[in-house]
Amino acid sequence: MKKKIITASIILLFAIVVFKMFSGNEGEEFKTVKVERGDVFSEVTETGQVQKGDKINLSFKNSGRISNIYVETGDNVQRGTLLMKLDTFNLSLQLKEAQSAFSLAQSQLDKLIAGLTPEEIQTYQTAMDNKEIALDVAKQALLSANEDSLNTFEDAYLKSYNAYITVGDIQTLYFKKIDQEGISVRESKENIKISLNGIKSSLDTAKENPTQTEIDSALSNIKTRLAEMSSALTGVREASESPNYRNDVSDANKILLDTHRANINTVLYNVTNDQQAVVSAKLAISTAQGNLQAAKDNLAFITADPREEDITLYQNQVDQAQVSVDVLNNQISDSYLRSPVKGQVTEIMKRAGELAQASFQDTAVVILPADPYKIEVNIYEEDVVDIKIDNPVSIMLVAFPGDTFEGKVISIDPAENIIDGVVYYKAVIGFDESPDGIKPGMTADVDIRTELKENVLTLDEDAVQYKDEKIIVEALKDGGVEEKEVSIGLEGSNNLVEIISGLVEGEEIILR
């Protein structure tokens, strides 16, 4: 009986497992984390050895002109004692600008969330109304330009017709012979007739169907025809001055030809101006339409409730402005050369007013540490680019299990060190305070903090996924799951990543 009960239990358990495997995801429970503000840091972990300390060559992290020297050779200094300072006037100006930009970005975010006052909304409404008026003015200007063009077309046809009649009369009176001049004048007359007919055709079409397309076409065609007619009139005038006809063609007719050619050139100039006026009017309409649409979009935007995307965008602008402030604060901080250890100033290598280079080899001050111990660590070439002078270090000595000591990176050797075919660079770490009983040669495990982002949006790294060359997360929203693309910054050693854009504080994200 007992055996049957056990068998039945096994069958029931198997059935439950099978049911869960094929029952789908209904009611699936997710483990989630929230997007929160916090600190993200990265570390480089290595193992080194305790060594006897020696002199430390100190140099600036930034290039600049030395404005102040605060110590003299032989002075005893504490860790953090100010030794020298670079001129920070320009950096201070830039910092003020960056702080103003941050304040502006923060106020814009606050204003977006709070919304505008009725008076401010009316300002946007008035701006839109003015853009509508400007569009109407631009449209009226185009209508006027088109009307002027039609009047110019009429004048072009009249002056072209008169020129054609005059050339016909001159050809009949003087160029009856079948010689070079006679043939040239007959061809010019025929060309003038063709141009006249082309002008008449464009004029009639534009008058019957005064659409913008037809007027634009007429302007282009009539401009071409007038240029051809001017050229033909020039040909007739030159023929009348040829040796065979110079004395035959009367001065009055020559003057008449000059007059017609001047008239044609004048109307050609007018057509060109009309064409430019139409183009300018159309461009003005296009600009006015764009301005009006922008004003409508602005009005719709400021009267709508803020979207998550807009809040995220403005928050990103605040964060970016904060980054600029932080960078400049760091640059100003790096303009102060401080002693990394307790010790004595043995040499001062620079003078006030002298230019200092951001180079390990450009020593400014030499310090003899009071603490006789240091740690030398070989840093892999891929990691050494992230390490900077004064990076904080957590030190664990094998001989002192369970204890953690603090220190700082005090130098990085610019020359490579090849170990088993791999490139390393030696970094020297100084103790803030070495423990009693420490000995040279002791093994030290060090965590060098290379970067720290404070008070930024953070997310557990296990919530971040990579899909189709995009970085995504799965957010819980309205009882469902929404896939969101995000941008990330620092990927920390503390299992957190910095969220630059795509999420807002408080969102719940699924862990996978």
pLDDT tens digit sequence for 292-308: 999 999 888 778 788 88
451 has pLDDT over 50: yes
Q: Rounded to whole angstroms, how far apart are CA atoms 43 and 450?
A: 5
Under DSSP, the state recorded for 307 is P
Q: Rounded to whole angstroms, how far apart are CA atoms 417 and 425?
A: 6
Under DSSP, the state recorded for 340 is S
- Of the candidates 230, 229, 235, which has an alpha carbon nearest to the alpha carbon of residue 185? 235
The token pair that represents 355 in the structure block: 């230019």
478 has pLDDT over 70: yes
**Confidence (pLDDT) at 119:** 86
- Residue 49 has φ and ψ, to the nearest 5°, of -130, 145
Q: Which residues contact 322 (CB under 8 A, 6 or more apart)?
A: 102
Contact 51, 374 (CB under 8 A): yes
- Averaged pLDDT score across all residues of the chain: 87
Please report, for residues 62, 342, 371, the alpha-carbon distance to residue 346 in angstroms, rounded to integers and kept in the order given: 23, 13, 15
512 has pLDDT over 80: no
SS3 state at 235: helix
28/450: higher pLDDT: 450
**Confidence (pLDDT) at 251:** 92
Class of domain 126-302: mainly alpha
CB-count burial class (<10 Å; 0-12, 13-18, 19+) for 94:
middle
**Confidence (pLDDT) at 268:** 94
- The ranges assigned to domains in the chain are 29-53+371-512, 126-302
pLDDT tens digit sequence for 195-233: 999 999 999 999 999 999 999 999 999 999 999 999 999
The token pair that represents 247 in the structure block: 């004395």
Q: Rounded to whole angstroms, how far apart are CA atoms 452 and 496?
A: 12
The token pair that represents 172 in the structure block: 């009949």
pTM assigned to the model? 0.44
Q: Rounded to whole angstroms, how far apart are CA atoms 505 and 37?
A: 7
What is the average per-residue pLDDT within 244-252?
Answer: 91
Q: Rounded to whole angstroms, how far apart are CA atoms 42 and 452?
A: 7
**Confidence (pLDDT) at 13:** 43
307/500: higher pLDDT: 500
Contact 4, 414 (CB under 8 A): no
21 has pLDDT over 60: no
Contact 40, 498 (CB under 8 A): yes
The amino acid that residue 258 corresponds to is: D
The token pair that represents 454 in the structure block: 């404070």
In the chain, what's the furthest Cα-to-Cα distance? 144
For the chain, first and last CA: distance in Å? 45
Q: How many residues does the chain have?
A: 512
In this prediction, what percent of the chain has a pLDDT beyond 70?
94
Fold of the domain built from segment(s) 29-53+371-512: Elongation Factor Tu (Ef-tu); domain 3 (2.40.30)
3 has pLDDT over 70: no
**Confidence (pLDDT) at 9:** 42
SS3 state at 27: coil
Q: Rounded to whole angstroms, how far apart are CA atoms 233 and 211?
A: 32
The amino acid that residue 377 corresponds to is: V
